């Protein structure tokens, strides 16, 4: 038995209709059959998960489950530390490395009775060369990066939930390519302790799921752990908020629109026609000058995003290159070279542009009396081949802003999934989730 969604499983476990161990065996069987082709896991030890499922079964029989997610298997991206599994960071120099501790998010999962199920493949340190994972729907196509394994295993319906990270586009893009829901919350809403750092101003912990209750519930219990300096996930709860119909949406094109093929633009246009037919007002750069003005600023200033990432990743990556040389991939070494050309005053100017853009986005949404921004979660369906993980152009804006965004598995192009990105403003995560849920659940066929 596959557990593509965990929602409702809690009551089956409580009634004794099914046990966590029985459910887990179905998951293990499905993954064992599919993994040789999918290659989603960097480390997999089913016996560790079985032991955790047995403890969960005992708790349910005693009437004392730890949470509604007690017994839920969750894939863990391999830059996230786990005390009982190695954390290899997608790099051969770190293969088999064990830190002996859980990241804050993994500790939160265990305390809620959820089961960390294997380490999913990541690109090198979530920014470098690709791993072996293939797309859940076509083995000749990329699963996207950097959270390749997490998105593929959820998109394939093999796990109900998996954790990923996003610094540029690493949750929403693979969610788009593999046909699952991807959630990148407000910067700092979920704790990053024990997650290998890239960029403090850009790094987000994110969640993949096939069900909004799974998505929101897992994010919420992780948020309850606490994230230093941040208030946590706004509206955290065991279940997702009910769907809320938007009144007005802002469609963004941005310069990334130029990457979309003409045939795929028609597919995207059709989605906005569907929304408009449901009585939702759609504003864009042709109908409101405020939208065009916003796009102009975002397109002008978002280039500093990668400079910020390069500047902030000097530690620990300069030390890695010194110790491991060419085992550290070319892209990382190129980013470090880019950082050497920057000065503190360059970084200070980048921070100022980021702050101004956050203010402008927030004020523009309020001025337009709109509910959210909508744009593609990728330039199209997953490209063929495993080297190129796809463009980040449509995603970097909201990573740079640190604002929440969700990829919805709504569209199809060339027979492959293609996500629609719904994006909001800081700390309005629950409102965005309610809106995104409505869009997904009420989409006309």
Catalytic residue among 130, 148, 170, 176: 170
Q: Measured in whole angstroms, how far is the alpha carbon of residue 378 from the centre of its chain? A: 13
DSSP string covering 267-301, please?
A: HHHHHHHHHHHTT-EEE-TTT-HHHHHHHHHHHHH
Neighbours of 319 (CB within 10 A): 10
Q: For residue 49, is the peptide bond before it cis, meaning its omega torsion is within 30 degrees of 0?
A: no
Nearest to 240 by CA among 22, 28, 440, 34: 440
Q: Say whether 170 is catalytic.
A: yes
Q: CA-to-CA distance for 240 and 221, rounded, in angstroms?
A: 12
Residue linked to tokens 């752990």: 225
Residue linked to tokens 């979530």: 126
Q: Say whether 77 is catalytic.
A: yes
Nearest to 243 by CA among 445, 433, 443: 433
Catalytic residue among 7, 30, 56, 146: 146
Catalytic residue among 77, 119, 184, 353: 77
**Cα angle 416, 422, 424; round to 5:** 160
The DSSP 8-state label assigned to residue 114 in this structure reads -
DSSP string covering 159-187, please?
A: -SEEEEEESSSTTHHHHHHHTSEEEE-ST
The region that residue 126 occupies, defined by phi over 0 for left and psi between -120 and 50 for alpha, beta otherwise, is left
CB 442 within 8 Å of CB 411: no
Six-digit token string for 86 = 């190695």
Residues classed as catalytic? 77, 146, 170
């Amino acid at each position: 038995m596959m557990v593509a969604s965990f929602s409702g499983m809690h009551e089956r476990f409580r009634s004794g209709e099914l046990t966590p161990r029985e459910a887990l065996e179905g998951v293990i069987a499905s993954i064992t059959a599919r993994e040789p082709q999918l290659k989603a896991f960097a480390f997999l030890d089913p016996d560790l998960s079985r032991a955790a499922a047995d403890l969960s079964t005992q708790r349910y029989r005693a009437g004392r489950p730890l949470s509604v997610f007690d017994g839920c298997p969750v894939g863990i991206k391999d830059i996230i530390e786990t005390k009982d599994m190695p954390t290899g960071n997608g790099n051969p120099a770190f293969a088999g490395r064990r830190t002996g501790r859980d990241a804050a998010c993994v500790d939160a999962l265990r305390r809620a009775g959820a089961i960390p199920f294997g380490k999913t493949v990541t690109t090198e340190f979530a920014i470098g060369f690709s791993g072996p994972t293939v797309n859940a729907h076509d083995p000749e196509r990329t699963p996207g990066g950097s959270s390749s394994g997490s998105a593929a295993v959820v998109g394939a319906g093999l796990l109900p939930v998996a954790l990923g990270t996003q610094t540029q586009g690493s949750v929403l893009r693979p969610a788009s390519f593999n046909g699952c829901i991807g959630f990148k919350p407000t910067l700092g809403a979920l704790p990053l302790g024990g997650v290998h750092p890239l960029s403090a101003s850009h790094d987000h912990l994110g969640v993949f799921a096939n069900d909004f209750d799974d998505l929101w519930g897992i994010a919420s219990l992780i948020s309850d752990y606490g994230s230093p300096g941040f208030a946590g996930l706004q509206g955290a709860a065991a279940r997702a908020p009910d769907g809320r119909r938007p009144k007005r949406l802002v469609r963004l094109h941005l310069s990334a629109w130029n990457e979309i093929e003409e045939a795929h633009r028609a597919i995207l246009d059709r989605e906005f026609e569907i929304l408009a037919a449901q009585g939702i007002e759609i504003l864009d750069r042709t109908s409101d000058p405020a939208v065009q003005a916003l796009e102009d600023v975002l397109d002008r200033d978002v280039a500093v995003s990668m400079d910020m990432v390069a500047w902030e990743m000097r530690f620990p990556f300069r030390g890695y290159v010194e110790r491991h040389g060419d085992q550290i991939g070319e892209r990382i070494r190129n980013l470090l070279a880019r950082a050497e050309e920057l000065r503190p005053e360059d970084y200070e100017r980048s921070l100022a542009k980021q702050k101004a853009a956050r203010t402008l986005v927030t004020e523009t949404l309020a001025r337009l009396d709109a509910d959210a921004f909508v744009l593609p979660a990728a330039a199209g369906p997953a490209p063929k081949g495993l080297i190129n993980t796809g463009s980040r152009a449509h995603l970097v804006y909201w990573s740079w802003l640190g604002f929440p965004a969700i990829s919805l598995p709504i569209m199809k192009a060339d027979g492959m999934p293609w996500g629609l990105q719904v994006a909001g403003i800081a700390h309005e995560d629950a409102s965005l989730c309610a809106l995104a849920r409505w869009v997904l659940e009420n989409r006309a066929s």
